A and B are shown apart, each in its own frame.
Chain A
Amino acid sequence: NAGVTQTPKFRILKIGQSMTLQCAQDMNHNYMYWYRQDPGMGLKLIYYSVGAGITDKGEVPNGYNVSRSTTEDFPLRLELAAPSQTSVYFCASSYSIGPPWKDYGYTFGSGTRLTVV
């Protein structure tokens, strides 16, 4: 099925460990995003990419890194995990921006629930 695939769905990390959250889309979308969702807060943008080889910081990038070597994949790397990184992480993709408007919407992955202890 076409869409955004995130792995893993759940993970528990110890403080100081590192891990990579995987995100892949098969819709040939050029824009991809990583968000985190904390209780009672709106989703916050961590990093985004407008195409292969191009990434940029969002609102809350500290403690994370990304890469975009292909159109399909956009992994998020956590280095030296901290309890403040306990959150639910969503990857998303979109195709078109700007006028003329089309009903493209955004496609989100199912999320990764990360706990750092």
Chain B
Amino acid sequence: KNEVEQSPQNLTAQEGEFITINCSYSVGISALHWLQQHPGGGIVSLFMLSSGKKKHGRLIATINIQEKHSSLHITASHPRDSAVYICADGGGADGLTFGKGTHLIIQP
């Protein structure tokens, strides 16, 4: 069974800092997803990637298939980036395997 581990579990940073959240998985994957969940809110898909790097605005996601590792970076962080960031492994019809999430707080 694939396991998805995230670190750190909690992260507090100052506005403007560069943020990195890490994700490791135990089995070779077909796709790696990064998701965002605001407190009390729904879940939004940020990225799906199977190789290399993707960028959307201030968010960058990278993946190293050989090392079974992915990172989510936030540049010029802002308080509105405060949320839970979740990585998940999947691409098959039988759904995603989720990490427990990283609680990010950006202080002004």
Contacts and interface: CB of A to CB of B under 8 A. Distances in A.
Given A98-B91, A105-B45, A42 B4 contact: yes
A33 B33 CA distance: 16
Contacts, number: 66
Considering residues B41, B50, B86, B95, which has the most beta carbons from chain A within 10 angstroms of its beta carbon? B95
A56 B92 contact: no
Contacts of B101: 42
A45 B95 contact: yes
Contacts of A110: 41-42
A108 interface: yes
Given A42-B88, A92-B43, A108-B42, 13 more contacts: A35-B98, A41-B100, A42-B99, A42-B100, A45-B94, A45-B95, A58-B94, A90-B43, A101-B31, A105-B45, A105-B48, A108-B44, A111-B42
B93 A107 contact: no
Interface in B28-75: 30-31, 33, 35, 41-45, 47-48, 50
Contacts of B88: 42-43
Interface string B73-84: 000000000000
A50 B93 contact: yes
Nearest to A108: B43
Interface in B15-33: 30-31, 33
Contact of B98 (A43, A50, A97): A43
Interface in A46-97: 48, 50, 56, 58, 90, 92, 97
